[in-house]
Structure 1
Amino acid sequence: MKFLKWFQGRKDPSFSEAEQLSLYRLTGDIQLLGALYQPYMEMVFAVCYKYLREEAESKDAVMQIFEKIITDLKTHEVDHFRSWLHAVARNYCLMQIRAKRVFVTTEELDENQAEIPGNAYEAHEKADAKFTVLESCMNALAKEQRTAIEKFYMQEKCYREISAETGFDLNKVKSCIQNGKRNLKICMEKDEKA
């Protein structure tokens, strides 16, 4: 992974990653962030390739994820950069896959396919139905569970940020997320069986 060479050499080994992230938040020095990102580029590429299955697209994703974290890290406090970055890469790829599945152009469907069961149009309708069920199940959750899940999964906030915003202690945040996930799964499985 040589396509971000100019980031090399800026990382200061006398500072921990957490201190470097704080310094980035204070200064906005992109080269400092690049030096911090550079050792994880192969991991990010591997995650992207696992999901996207295309080398060029995965390389592009490594760059786009870097651009994403430039702004994300100005507002997110990250304790464990590697695991946070892994989650960001995974979520980015899943969103790319989802976008490809949802946005099907009319050129991709010829007129005859619109009538055939199992085509992209039908898959799109099934995805919409699942999304509707998910929304319904989210609304059925206890308010604290819903809040914690939205902040953790949709806003990509860490436990500490959720705790600060909601006033819940860290154990309650973890509990709300675990119980909320379990309740969502049960609700969605009930709908599948119905």
Structure 2
Amino acid sequence: MLRLLRPKPALAEVSDAELLDRFQRSGEANDLLPLYERHAELIYAVALRYLGSPQRAEDAGMEIWALLLEKLPSHRVSNFRSWLHTTVRNHCLMQLRKEKRDPLQQTDDEFVQSDRLLHLSTANETEEPGEDTRALYHCLKKLKEEQRRCVQLFYLREGESYQSIAEALALNVGQVRSHLQNGRRNLKICLEGQDNAKE
């Protein structure tokens, strides 16, 4: 699976810049593969954060592979990891915007996991919080502490993966997945209750 790929030991000491230069000189997909594999965890984590399901994150990873093959040969990149993070995020945002224009393609669960959390994570801190944002903050406060901390780290901070959250909170990766899953479910229930109260 995409998120389980790891760089080959022989390439562990080669910098991103060197791997990128090698690919840009040859244009061969085989020369891009080590760079892609090195950052597969980042690609998967960012895509999962925005798209809300493992399968969609896997699909996005393959789309990013094709995008890198197309863009990188002639694209100047000074910090590959940062550029890749932005590229994956923008790719997912574009996908979410397309789906928002076609409500039939987006389930309620995906809306709760992606659209509301995405709005919260990208909102300008100087903006007056909207009704959806206030409701989400209210529901976040009602989560159990570990659920809330996992959700906040995963959705509201840049570059956090299951592993980095596990290390930060002294948990294992399975516990982080469980807290995220339960946290999202409880947020959905709370937000649906808020929506029903308005009717």
Question: What interval of TM-score do these two structures reach, taking the shorter chain for normalisation?
Answer: 0.3 to 0.5
Name which structure has the greater RCO, CA cutoff 8 Å, separation 6+.
2
Q: Larger Rg: 1 or 2? A: 1
Relative to the length of structure 2, the TM-score reads: 0.47
Relative to the length of structure 1, the TM-score reads: 0.48
